[in-house]
Structure 1
Amino acid sequence: MHVRASLHHDFKISRIDDRLYSAFIEHMGRAIYSGIYEPGHPQADLNGFRKDVLELVRDLHIPAIRYPGGNFVSAYHWEDGIGPKENRPVRLDLAWRSKESNQVGINEFAQWAQMAGIEMMLAVNLGSRSLEDARNFAEYTLHPGGTYWSDLRRSHGVQEPYNVKMWCLGNEMDGPWQIGQKKAKEYGQLANQTAKALKALDSNIEAIVCGSSNDQMPTYPDWEREVLEECYENVDYISLHKYFGNSSRDTLNYFAKIEETGRYIQAIGGVIDFVKAKKRAKNDVYICFDEWNVWYHRREEDARRWHEWNWPEAPALLEEDYNFEDALFVAGLINEFIRRSDRVRIACIAQLVNVIAPIRAEKGGPAWRQTIYYPYQFASLYGRGTALDVAVDGPTYDCNVASDVNYLDAAAVHDEKAGMVTLFLVNRHLEEDVDLDMTLTGFSNARLVEHNVMAGFGLRDTNGADNPDAVAPRNGTGIGVDNSRIKGKLAALSYHVLRLDISTGVST
């Protein structure tokens, strides 16, 4: 299968916001307890945080992390997680029908995030609570001292405020499953007033308003329009959520859901432009795709379990075993975020540890990387800079969710400071190799200095505690750069990361 492609120095999409490679973690299942925090574990530090998990997190170089939810936040009292641990109440978590011990709260999580080198993105409860509670949480978190809430924080041993700039105004407020579900106009008005209050505390705050829970909601995309008409001038982002699966075992249709996601982003971008024009607004609103991942392997089974169980504490929930097919999908989805980086400034893989996550950790046992860890890591490490348009001319296919889908999925990023261009390529064909012929224009003396590949695995192959490296990248071969052209073979069902050194010259 012959594919021609071209990459031009001047055909730029957007400067990529580093936060495109962010993450999400919720008080859900074993994400927090026996995920990042497990006192008594052989790898636990003096504060109970697992050092083995922390090391895997650090290797991802995550810029920001959304916390503490998710559905959990819509009935959460943040005050339950502050002060002496022995005085903290145990509460029922209505979202996931389990007990919350509150042994990890804002101060513990902030300590962990600092150790991990990750900026916090905090969510406030606009389901069961109010603007006033959000304001109090922000004051506790942001103000230096001399007020009730800031001095309370200081009495808890945290002298300096947290420099939290990103605030999520609730979670999935259109969802009938949500505690405190609201109508679009009602929610938009509440979000508007909450954003104004938070920005009165700190004018540098970025407010993230809830979009539709997914693009299949019956109110989509009117929800986005109605909400933004109430709060456009006071918010900075609107959130998108979408989860993916392949229950039908139709691999090509699964991969094409990436194209469907592109249409989702494009549609919401149009809504943003419409509201901006209607309101004659001067500010821009961007997209925060703050929940995305593969979620289907155990979804139906776990839904039955959590509706039946009797309020356990930190139960195993949504612990997907990701396979090689999922890794190829995640690689392509991140490529789509790169290609849409003019609209999508922040994106969060949901979630980070144990719960639909790239990292798994056994209680009392080892931690390991799932298959999807690697494309997420490569993008985070090498996908920072300016997104470039890759023109692809090759065979395509049609399926249920999209037509004219390229077998070769491609994205490119130019890191001007490092003098590097990175290509992220996925051959989605089930059987045929790609004979690639890519022309480079505007990059003189390009040299291929690194080639990572994931290929040769069965689609259902996974990693686990007993085989943590069964599906992992290796050094690639068979691709070279000669006379400003990249040539070589990409095996069927393969993912490639090509690193080009262009520091010796950029021609124009």
Structure 2
Amino acid sequence: MTAARLTLDPRFPIGAVRRRLFGGFVEHLGRHVYDGIYEPGHPEADEQGFRRDVLDLVRELGVSMIRYPGGNFVSGFRWEDSVGPRAQRPRRLDLAWHSTETNEIGLHEFADWLDKAGSELMLAVNLGTRGTLEAIDLLEYSNVPGGSTLSQQRIDNGREAPFGVQVWCLGNEMDGPWQLGHRSADDYGKIASQTAKGMRQLDPSIELVVCGSSGAQMPTFGEWERIVLEHTYDDVDMISCHAYYQEHDGDIDSFLASATDMDRFIDAVIATADHVGAVRGSDKRIGISFDEWNVWYMDRVASVKPAAIDDWPVAPRLLEDVYSALDAVVFGSLMISLLKHADRVASASLAQLVNVIAPIMTEPGGPSWRQTTFFPFAITSRLAQGDAVRLQVESPVIETEKFGAVPAVDAVATHDPETGATAIFLVHRGRAEAIELRIDVAGLGDVEVAEAHLLHDDDPYARNTLEDPDRVQPGALETRVVDGILYVTLPPIAWAAVSLARA
């Protein structure tokens, strides 16, 4: 058995753990909305047609803020279609996912669902096929208490109080050639700046997210961020990052080290943003909204959308990845990366939430269940509080094809100085043998283990399915604290969380 040494000192925090780090993403895509969160006639449907079993799982997941309604969907979306009497709402052809959007669920209904789920609304505006005026109109409809035509329209549509949306995304993935209304960085930066200024004239309190690159692999990455921020630095609060990971051609070691890429991605965007700020002589710091991240197997059949000119289905089965124990370990390591950058990552949105590359799955007329990725998110969301704390890690390394030598163990901690509650999140990327971790927690004083969770399966490709929904579950993790040292043994390909409390 190999060994690693870690040191946790709460006197050196990274930054506060913001609840918005544990956000989600709901797009009108596939069976996410229809047959996912909304299925009238289902035995679990409430009076509005929302599935109670799904709501229970969303609350258990602990999702704080949910980005809506897209995604690629938003670049062809007319927000006016989604309000008013349902019988009068148009059916539209969604070019992003080659589907028919019925608009049965719109802004009001989704806000009602969020109230039940206990989550905050994050809205994206269409800067692909629409522009500044439509964004301002949506803001007025959503946030102005009354006294104008649009705010009165909201009231007449059944919502007396404003939605009070605080965080707004200025378009989606505008660097991507696949995006309706795709623009150059210069053109997008100009319209984003104009839109941000207009929206702030209406509501100065809102927080705005400008589009960064759709991924670090984009040919314009870095330059896109620089040019866009040169236009918008004074107008926005955050710039977005998007990243998806999957195992390629059996290269498990590189897949397990995916968080290394996320770390480098975040660091590069921070460096670029700070460069723009330095050139401007500004003391302002741009935050990061990592508002799309997940494991996503883009080359699987489940990700292929319809293509025929006469085939525009309602809620087709799209992007319904079935996740393995291996996927969940990588997923948990990505959450570690986000916490390690808590000083600059102001919000994050897991993409997505139900059925579509999601931690929650449903069957029409049937059950709902937790995918393997559900567990690291739910446990981290519940235990992480206070400040994120970087651990000093001395670990063996593993060799990877994509990233070179990376530590076999990665970790981060959170610590609440008021309550003394501490949580340590760990990942073991090694595949050959177990590893013993000796974690120096003497800086916390006298502590004891409150709870400990291990996500591991002897078959790394074990999955939770409709036929076997409980195949992969978190298990107990053996731990002990002796003379200020926390001892933890992790099997190969494992994610773990340990909660400590004052003794």
TM-score range, shorter chain: over 0.9
Answer whether contact 1:324 1:457 (CA < 8 A) is retained.
no
Q: In the alignment, what sits opposite 1:328?
A: 329
Answer whether contact 2:303 2:318 (CA < 8 A) is retained.
no
- Post-superposition Cα deviations, 1:453-503, rounded to whole Å, max 9, x if no partner, equal 1223311100012211110112222x101111112322222221111103x
Q: In the alignment, what sits opposite 1:51?
A: 52
Answer whether contact 2:303 2:320 (CA < 8 A) is retained.
no
Q: In the alignment, what sits opposite 1:27?
A: 28
* Aligned equivalents of 2:91, 2:72: Cα separation in 1: 18
Q: In the alignment, what sits opposite 1:397?
A: 398
State the percentage of identical aligned residues.
42
Q: In the alignment, what sits opposite 1:474?
A: 475
Q: Which amino acid aligns with 1:434?
A: I
Q: In the alignment, what sits opposite 1:13?
A: 14
Q: Which amino acid aligns with 2:284?
A: N
Could you state the TM-score of these two structures normalised by the residue count of structure 1? 0.97
Q: In the alignment, what sits opposite 2:364?
A: 363
Alignment of 1:438-457 (within 5 A): 438-457=439-458
Answer whether contact 2:302 2:320 (CA < 8 A) is retained.
no
* Aligned equivalents of 2:202, 2:380: Cα separation in 1: 35
Q: In the alignment, what sits opposite 1:435?
A: 436
* Aligned equivalents of 1:415, 1:97: Cα separation in 2: 47
Could you state the TM-score of these two structures normalised by the residue count of structure 2? 0.98
Q: In the alignment, what sits opposite 2:284?
A: 283
Q: Let me know the Cα RMSD of the aligned residues.
A: 1.2
Unaligned runs of at least 5 residues, structure 1: none
Q: Which amino acid aligns with 1:488?
A: V
Instruction: Choose 456-465 or 258-267, whichever is displaced more.
Output: 456-465
Instruction: Choose 435-444 or 236-245, whichever is displaced more.
Output: 435-444
* Aligned equivalents of 2:419, 2:466: Cα separation in 1: 37
Q: In the alignment, what sits opposite 2:95?
A: 94
- Post-superposition Cα deviations, 1:302-334, rounded to whole Å, max 9, x if no partner, equal 454433471111101000000000000011110
Answer whether contact 2:7 2:393 (CA < 8 A) is retained.
yes
Q: CA deviation at 1:248?
A: 1.3
Answer whether contact 1:9 1:441 (CA < 8 A) is retained.
no
Q: CA deviation at 1:186?
A: 1.0
- Look up the SS of the partner of 1:492 in the other structure: coil
Answer whether contact 1:457 1:471 (CA < 8 A) is retained.
no
* Aligned equivalents of 1:444, 1:302: Cα separation in 2: 50
Instruction: Choose 429-438 or 163-172, whichever is displaced more.
Output: 429-438
Q: Which amino acid aligns with 1:54?
A: L
Answer whether contact 1:424 1:497 (CA < 8 A) is retained.
yes
Q: In the alignment, what sits opposite 1:496?
A: 496
- Look up the SS of the partner of 1:450 in the other structure: strand
Instruction: Choose 344-353 or 280-289, whichever is displaced more.
Output: 280-289
Alignment of 1:75-224 (within 5 A): 75-224=76-225
* Aligned equivalents of 1:198, 1:420: Cα separation in 2: 40
* Aligned equivalents of 1:138, 1:472: Cα separation in 2: 43
Q: In the alignment, what sits opposite 1:233?
A: 234
* Aligned equivalents of 1:305, 1:224: Cα separation in 2: 30
Q: CA deviation at 1:31?
A: 0.4
Answer whether contact 1:165 1:204 (CA < 8 A) is retained.
yes
Q: CA deviation at 1:411?
A: 1.1
Instruction: Choose 276-285 or 220-229, whichever is displaced more.
Output: 276-285
Instruction: Choose 438-447 or 284-293, whichever is displaced more.
Output: 438-447
Q: In the alignment, what sits opposite 1:384?
A: 385
Instruction: Choose 254-263 or 134-143, whichever is displaced more.
Output: 254-263
- Look up the SS of the partner of 2:160 in the other structure: coil
* Aligned equivalents of 2:133, 2:169: Cα separation in 1: 15
Q: Which amino acid aligns with 2:140?
A: E
Q: CA deviation at 1:37?
A: 0.6
Q: Which amino acid aligns with 1:214?
A: G
Alignment of 1:294-333 (within 5 A): 294-296=295-297, 299-308=299-308, 310-333=311-334
Answer whether contact 2:398 2:430 (CA < 8 A) is retained.
no
The 1:488/1:219 distance shift into structure 2, 3 A limit, reads closer
* Aligned equivalents of 2:488, 2:455: Cα separation in 1: 16
* Aligned equivalents of 1:98, 1:192: Cα separation in 2: 32
Q: CA deviation at 1:300?
A: 4.1
Q: Which amino acid aligns with 2:37?
A: I
* Aligned equivalents of 2:201, 2:475: Cα separation in 1: 51
The 1:427/1:303 distance shift into structure 2, 3 A limit, reads closer
Instruction: Choose 416-425 or 159-168, whichever is displaced more.
Output: 416-425
- Look up the SS of the partner of 2:439 in the other structure: strand
Instruction: Choose 129-138 or 396-405, whichever is displaced more.
Output: 396-405
- Look up the SS of the partner of 1:299 in the other structure: coil
- Post-superposition Cα deviations, 1:429-471, rounded to whole Å, max 9, x if no partner, equal 1121111211124211111111111223311100012211110
Q: Which amino acid aligns with 2:454?
A: V
Q: In the alignment, what sits opposite 1:341?
A: 342
* Aligned equivalents of 2:183, 2:290: Cα separation in 1: 21
The 1:50/1:303 distance shift into structure 2, 3 A limit, reads closer
Q: CA deviation at 1:199?
A: 1.5
* Aligned equivalents of 1:456, 1:282: Cα separation in 2: 48
- Post-superposition Cα deviations, 1:344-369, rounded to whole Å, max 9, x if no partner, equal 11111100000000000111111000
The 1:42/1:290 distance shift into structure 2, 3 A limit, reads same
